Structure 1
Amino acid sequence: MTVTLTDIAISDNRLILDGQEVDSVSGETFERTSPAHDVVVARYAKGGADDVARGVTAARRAFDAGPWPRRAGVERSRVLRRVADLIRRDRDQLARIEALESGKPITQAYDEVDASAELWDYAATLARHSYGDAHNDLGPDVLAMVVNEPLGVVSIITPWNFPLLIVSQKLPFALAVGCTAVVKPSELTPGTTVHLARLIIEAGADEGVVNVVTGSGGVGSAMSAHPDVDMISFTGSTEVGRKVAAAGGQLLKRIELELGGKNPQIICADSDLDAAADAVVFGVYFNAGECCNSGSRVLVQRSIADDFVAEVVNRARRVPVGDPLDPATKVGAIVSDEQLAVIERYVSEGRSGDAELLLGGDRLASDNGRFYQPTVFANVRPEMSIAREEIFGPVLSVLTFETLDEAVGIANSTMYGLSAGIWTRDINAALSASRALRAGTVWVNRWMDGYPELPFGGYNASGEGRELGRQAIGSFTQTKTIQLQVGDRTTRWVPAAHHLGGLS
């Protein structure tokens, strides 16, 4: 296979700080090479700790003294809606950037752009619905209000697999309630985030409200440890998430983490097997498996396992792998040599652990780019690394079970708990399993559907906190109690429990 790219104009991108596009302090730059075409597609300013300090200073000033937190919710809502409209206006450009930098198929890149615009629209709605409580039954001489105020400056650190979508799961909700932000996209896929920041400025956000620092992992470390940052919102690997949490925890910052997953789909014998097989193939090979929600672990009831797995292999064999810019492609390129090496290591461990390789298991021959064959392992045991650890590649592990209780036990036997699925026509079994599965999202007879209205996040090592849904804006607020004296007050000491409740 040969994948070529001839119509390319290398884009030059600078940092976005305090409403301006500027060079990094060092003046250094770095390039992004398309993982499918092996040609340079963009150049970026290489930020460092000094640039993080500039971004945090701008965001701090915009929060402490700027108009953004003090704007009416309807005004912030209008800006967010303009951003959504601008994302749709620039749909073609954003999708192409995403496909070139990440290696994902262009059709999936378009879906990501569309979903991102929906998130900005939804956050715009929530900007008009941030409210608190009033308490008027505390006695005749007191009225109390509980208000939700914007938390402050938020550090947002995003990964390379869904760069536009994931920043859109965080940033518009922070902005909706009046926070300001410094954003660090992955150095592998910064393009859509930089473009988004330009759209936010075009939409009318105030100077310093959104700042973008591109660069390597040192930028994220500086953002996590900066004393003027109030919150860190991170999506990425569990390993890095622990480091982010440790750095932020030293300064008692609020931490929100969306981390890895080893997500099971449980296939019962009474399910719609055609729909389940389609969901299994989609779930593991979508975005080349480079997805925290990847359905990389399938548990099949033993009585149907042979036939079901044969059908999955048959469908997986026909999945088109190739040029991300070809609309017919369903699986594109692996994002980097480093990630390709990770996939190869896990496949080697699967082979040496006596799992049965039914399909794939090797790089796809190509004169350029990095592509991996859709891969299926059967006869996988729960203790194997390919059954317990996140591979982040197009590799499916198939396990079997006899009873639903056994399946739930296997499903819960990893450190992760991001999502899970169950396929059955028995509604009682579905509800029972859904309650027993230790996962932030459980799909029943469907897989990987997402809606802005529904919270998303994980249990255990899959993260802390929730994104999306009405709860999303709560992540970026803090609660304040205000008590008002009504009428004249006579000073007195009354040692009643409700008066002493606020003392420590």
Structure 2
Amino acid sequence: MDFQYAPAPESRSVVDIRSSYGLFINGEFVDGRGESFKSVNPATEEALADIAAADAADVDDAVRAARRAFDTVWGPMPGRERAKYLFRIARIIQERARELAVLESLDNGKPIRESRDVDVPLVAAHFFYYAGWADKLPYAGFGPDPRPLGVAGQVIPWNFPLLMLAWKIAPALAAGNTVVLKPAETTPLTALLFAEICQQAQLPPGVVNIVTGAGDTGRLLVGHDGIDKVAFTGSTEVGRAIARAVAGTRKRLTLELGGKAANIVFDDAPFDQAVEGVVNGIFFNQGHVCCAGSRLLLQESVAEEFLEALKRRMAQLRVGDPLDKNTDVGAINSAEQLARIRQLSQVGEDEGAARWSAPCELPARGFWFAPTIFTGVTQAHRIAREEIFGPVLSVLTFRTPDEAVEKANNTPYGLSAGVWTEKGSRILHLADRLRAGVVWANTFNKFDPTSPFGGYKESGYGREGGRHGLEAYLEH
């Protein structure tokens, strides 16, 4: 008997989307001086709201507001008092979790199941965690008298809009810094709702400022003389440009950039568990994940059997309405990103790799791409070297652990990796040799606010999360 899931849509009525949004500067929403732009629902191509674009004067206003707040209120404030505000923000996020989850799925295209069960709970957890650090900074291991840097300019991407905001803002505030944050132009709405949460928590004006806009706004923020610390998550190409812009200045810099993670499956791996891990590793959030397991390395002796099991599982993935609680794979975030995924997938076919896509009916409107795997891939293929940032998996094979490590490390990136085997000694041996900031063992894409995250090589430098996440925001 073929069981079908009936639609189970989450209601949009829990979210009140304004027709237009200004910038959040010095505790108030103000009109932007630049040309406004539209935020679009990628699942329907419906315009959600008009968003203000910040120009140089707007960015200057935001940085000045952050500096005043740092000098007069937030910097001198005792850690235990800062902690109260962070705890308050965390509790409000929990209270408004459903509203935040629905808005995230509308603006980003990710399934509500992920927004509701992963993103928003982790956002609250980060604020709770760093609230606990705010009055314990002398015991964090960065000297007896660590001091905040000042004003942090933060630029975040569109794949995890609210979670990336939490990763950036929570440690910065806990350490005593003030913030000017620029969300991605395609996903600004949850950052603007967070601004309302700051008002609701009665956060002192100027401690958090949010300026919306495209790349030009980000460049203005990164290049502003009043910024003491720059934190960026996004593409390696933009990260290089930021590193060049900051070079020779007094500004501190952390970068979390692209990845091309290897998910390594040995012949003794727990098969069903590994299949689920591979699916989660590459198709979670439509593959819009810096640390996605986009290269599957299979031991030759089990490659054929594993691929059959993987295809059976992929055929069960439900692609469609992000607000449907049964949806596994949502919409691609933008037309531009969909074009890149299609282009690189075509390159994979042109270079001789065999393409297989999960059988699914894609909606007529919106930006969609079926979960896809390529077999017969070599290390010379572009799809094995370049970050696709979509639901596309390249499959390679290996015979020995040494070959697996060599292939896994044969990339300019070094953000994450996964190892699937029943042998604990093999896990430890490989983890020591893999050049990746995070190595997951018999799981993938697991995050916790207490655990640091970051990369090597072209995946950036610096760590976010855990005690280590405070270091980039402290003078010591």
Q: Does 1:49 align with 2:47?
A: no
Contact 1:258/1:457, CA 8 A, preserved across alignment: yes
Which residue pairs with 2:37 in the alignment? 30
Q: CA deviation at 1:25?
A: 2.3
Q: 2:389 aligns with which of 389, 392, 404?
A: 392
Structure 1 counterpart SS, 2:91: helix
Larger radius of gyration: 1
Task: Say if 1:9 and 1:197 are closer, same or farther in 2 by CA, change over 3 A.
Answer: closer
SS at match of 1:16: strand
1:453 is the counterpart of 2:441: no
Alpha-carbon displacement from aligned partner over 1:397-428 (angstroms, at most 9, x marks no partner): 11000001000000000000000011111122
Cα shift at 1:146: 4.7
Decide which of 77, 82, 86 is 2:88's aligned counterpart. Answer: 82
The residue that corresponds to 2:403 in the other structure is 406
> Aligned letter for 2:74?
W
- Report the Cα distance in structure 1 between the residues aligned to 2:194 and 2:54, rounded to whole angstroms: 18
TM-score (norm 2): 0.94
Q: List 4+ stretches of structure 1 deviating above 3 A.
A: 2-10
Q: Distance in 1 between matches of 2:259 and 2:330?
A: 21
Q: Any idea what SS the aligned residue of 1:131 has?
A: helix
User: Which residue number in structure 2 is paired with residue 169 of structure 1?
Assistant: 167
1:15 to 9, 23, 38: 23
Please tell me the residue identity of whatever aligns with 1:130. Answer: L
- 1:428 equivalent in alignment to 2:425: yes
Distance in 2 separating the partners of 1:102 and 1:380: 31
Paired with 2:84 and 2:339, the residues of 1 have a C-alpha distance of 45
- Residue 379 of structure 1 is aligned with which of 371, 376, 394? 376
**C-alpha distance 100-74 of structure 1, shift in aligned 2 (>3 A):** same
Task: Verify: 1:105 aligned to 2:105, yes or no.
Answer: no
Counterpart amino acid of 1:128? D
Aligned residue for 2:132? 125
Q: Cα RMSD (Å) of the superposition? A: 2.0
1:475 deviation in Å? Answer: 1.1
Distance 2:10 2:194 in 1: 28
Equivalent pairs: percent with the same residue?
42
Q: Which residue is equivalent to 1:486?
A: none
Alignment of 1:49-448 (within 5 A): 49-64=56-71, 66-110=72-116, 111-131=118-138, 146-360=144-358, 365-448=362-445
SS in 2 for 1:398: strand
**Contact 1:233/1:256 (CA < 8 Å) preserved in 2?**
yes
Q: Partners of 1:253 and 1:432 in 2: how far apart?
A: 38
Does the CA-based 8 Å contact 1:261-1:417 persist in structure 2?
yes
Letter in structure 2 aligned against 1:371 = W
Superposition pairs of residues 458-477 of structure 1, within 5 angstroms? 458-477=455-474
Give the gaps of 5 or more residues in structure 1: 135-144, 480-504
> In the alignment, what sits opposite 1:500?
none
Aligned AA (2:332): I
Q: Distance in 2 between matches of 1:146 and 1:132?
A: 7
Say which is worse superposed, 36-45 or 303-312, in terms of deviation.
36-45
Q: Secondary structure at the match of 1:358?
A: strand
For residues 392 and 52 of structure 1, the distance between their equivalents in structure 2, rounded to whole angstroms, comes to 30
- Superposed, 1:484-499 pairs within 5 Å as none
Whether the 8 Å CA contact 1:299–1:398 is kept in 2: the answer is yes
Q: Does the C-alpha gap of structure 1 residues 10 and 206 become closer, same or farther in structure 2, counting only changes over 3 Å?
A: closer
CA contact (8 A) 2:320 2:362 kept: no
Paired residue secondary structure (1:40): strand
Amino acid of the structure 1 residue aligned with 2:51 = Y
CA distance in 2, matches of 1:62, 1:36: 40
Partners of 1:84 and 1:10 in 2: CA distance: 22
Scaled by the length of structure 1, what TM-score is found?
0.89
Letter in 1 for 2:422: R
In structure 2, relative to structure 1, the CA distance for the partners of 1:103 and 1:406 (3 Å cut) is same
- Counterpart contact for 1:323–1:332, Cα < 8 Å: yes
Deviation at 1:322, TM superposition (A): 0.1
**Aligned to 1:88, what secondary structure does the other structure show?**
helix
Does the C-alpha gap of structure 1 residues 397 and 176 become closer, same or farther in structure 2, counting only changes over 3 Å? same
Q: What displacement does 1:6 show?
A: 8.8
- Aligned partners of 1:318, 1:92: CA distance in 2, in Å? 27
Does the 8 A contact of 2:376 with 2:395 survive in 1?
A: yes
C-alpha separation between the residues in 2 aligned to 1:310 and 1:204? 55
5+ residue gaps, structure 2, are: 1-6
> How far did residue 365 of structure 1 move?
4.0
Are the counterparts in 1 of residues 255 and 461 from structure 2 also a CA contact under 8 Å? yes
Amino acid at match of 2:287: G
2:3 corresponds to: none
1:181–1:211: 8 Å Cα contact kept in structure 2?
yes
- Number of equivalent positions: 465
Residues in 2 aligned to 1:442 and 1:199: alpha-carbon distance in whole angstroms: 35
